[in-house]
Amino acid sequence: MSDSVYNKQAGIPELEKAQIFEASTLYGAATLAAALDAGQFGPAAGVRRILLVSSNAEVPEAAIQLKEMHGYDRIAARFDEVISWNEVIHPNHPAEWAPEETETPVWQRLFRLAWGIGDVPVELAVESIQVNPARALVTIFAESAVHVYADGLMSYGPTRDKLPRPIGARVQRVLHLDLVPGLRPLLLAETGARPELVPDDAFTAVLKEISEDAADTVRSYLPPAEQDLPTAVLLGQYLAALRILTAQEEEDLHVRMLRGAVAAGHRSIVFKPHPTAPASYSSALDEAAQAAGVRLTVVDGPLLAETLYDICRPRLVVGCFSTAMLTASAYYGISIARTGTGLVLDRLTPYQNSNRVPLTIVDFMVPDLDAGTDAQMAAVDDLVPLVRTVGFCMQPKMHRDLREDAEHWLQANIGDRTQHYFRRRRLTSLGLPGGDALRTADRLRANPTVRRVVRAARRRLR
């Protein structure tokens, strides 16, 4: 054990355990901070806590770094050390680098020495365990217990790819925010990991810390007169960067948001680009605001959208399917509206794309911006079976137990209002209501029981 960390002769308590928390966004780091404050990772005594930060942007050097975000220092203060994963694996990209399986013991010894954690047990708290850098981390620390935290709506959808059994068996919990009260996460349910809520009061307290730290910067963007504070916030994403929409289509989407907010009576509006969106901004939104005779403020600093909610107290938040929309509703009581979800649902490929459940939640639950300000949010009781049905169709092998419920829901509900949540070809291949009629041979091939019998027979014949 490194004497520079814990020295028994100096009277410092011996290190009993290390906890490594991996984060790539301030929202995710805030979720971890709230979980720590709520005692969900146990007492700090005898534990070395490391915040391992990474930038997963396509060109990390050109993106806003986590340490540049307002509120970062307050969150980082909860940890004994902050380490940049990008620097550790330089010049490799965090989304791409992972060690060869035979090299993992060497990498673990190297990190234990470099990070001052000796030979003590290690716990990992990671996001997006299916991909790097989280996947690399859990592979290197192959004997460590794993806690997955979900910082957005993706927690309600199924796991993107089935985890190898040795990794899946180590996942203890899925820590998540209560963004849609009453909806239970599907993420990692197939591993037996238990979902656990991060308390609302702990998370809102962390958001308050962040907004206090960012207050001066936010106000520097805003008009000096209190009565001119923005009453609507428009949320940008990075759909063109993900190649879901073209740059022009995404710009048109922003203009639709603005025009919808103007039609709802808002005269002072903020546009908040996504922190990891490419640094490009055309004049289309400015021109639309000028044509409508409204004030538009673009807040493109290193800020969470939630700081705008806390300081400006807007009456409306508009977006496509950003998690920040549901944060506005769940934690600030702000009305929210959507636009563009139908287009993105049509473009999203493959069907099991992890954005499908967040899109489905927002499209089904959140009022359309064009419907007016009196439209109400849909009931969660109606949303739950839809999400479970979409989740089954996305990952039928992981969630065979949902098939019967999915069949019943589709039989009763598939129609013009719900058809765009599914692909006819997908329903057909799964033999579900809403798909095309299958020939007898195709129906037999689609039947999981028949497939198991055929595979068993083939094995016996080998």
Residue 407 CA, chain-centre distance (Å), reads 28
* Strands (DSSP E) found in 36-117: 47-53, 81-84
| The CATH number of domain 222-378 is 3.50.30.10 | no
Among the listed ranges 37-41, 179-183, 276-280, 344-348, which one has the minimum average pLDDT value? 276-280
Model-level pTM? 0.90
Over residues 210-225, the mean pLDDT reads: 88
- Check pLDDT > 70 for residue 142: yes
Distance from the Cα of residue 164 to its chain's centroid: 22
Of 82, 324, 64, 43, the residue nearest 207 (C-alpha): 324
Residue count of the chain, please give it.
462
Q: What confidence score (pLDDT) does residue 442 get?
A: 58
Are 272 and 262 in contact by the 8 Å Cβ rule? The answer is no
Q: Are 29 and 143 within 8 A, CB to CB?
A: no
Question: Between 3.30.420, 3.40.50, 2.60.120, 3.90.320, what CATH number should domain 8-202 receive?
Answer: 3.40.50
Does position 429 have pLDDT exceeding 70, yes or no? Answer: yes
Residue 74 Cα distances to 35, 77, 176, angstroms: 15, 5, 21
pLDDT at residue 11, as a whole number: 41
pLDDT of residue 6 exceeding 70: no
Q: Collapsing DSSP states into helix, strand and coil, what is residue 284? A: helix
pLDDT value, residue 144: 97
pLDDT (tens digit per residue) in 311-320: 999 999 999 9
- 344-350 long-range contacts (CB < 8 A, ≥24 apart) are 344/239, 344/244, 344/245, 344/320, 345/420, 345/421, 346/420, 347/244, 347/245, 348/244
pLDDT surpasses 70 at 323:
yes
Query: In the predicted model, what is the mean pLDDT of the chain?
Result: 91
What tokens does 257 get? 């948001």
Nearest to 359 by CA among 427, 271, 422: 422
Q: What is the pLDDT confidence band of residue 226, given thresholds at 50, 70 and 90?
A: low
Which tens digits make up the pLDDT trace of 440-450?
555 566 667 77
Positions of CATH 3.40.50.1980 in the chain: 222-378
